[in-house]
Amino acid sequence: MFGRPKSCTACPERGSETVAGYSAGDSRSLPRADQDAAGRGDGSHVHYDQSGDRYVVVTPRQ
Ligand SMILES: [Zn+2]
């Protein structure tokens, strides 16, 4: 759904930290997650967590 990739090539292995999660069952979760990621800056972006069926906001480790 929403055409999000299941995995992210922008994040090296162990290279990012999950900072927030939004249930994929709520149609408003993706825009919320996107806004959350945009507000955090520093390369933060959204992943789809298939095992948890949720969107997660990740921040690359510095
Ligand atoms: Zn990523």
Q: Which helix or strand (DSSP H or E) is residue 36 part of?
A: helix 29-40
Q: What is the pLDDT of residues 1-40, one digit of tens each?
A: 344 445 677 786 668 899 999 999 999 999 999 999 999 9
C-alpha of residue 8 to centroid of ligand 1, in Å:
4
The pTM score is 0.79
What's the one-letter identity of residue 6?
K
pLDDT digits (tens, 9 = 90+) for 46-59: 998 889 999 999 99
What pLDDT is recorded for position 42?
87
Q: How many A from CA of 10 to the centre of ligand 1?
A: 5
Q: What is the pLDDT of residue 21?
A: 97
CA of 34 to the centre of ligand 1 (A): 13
What DSSP state is assigned to residue 58? E
Rounded distance, CA 11 to CA 24, Å?
21
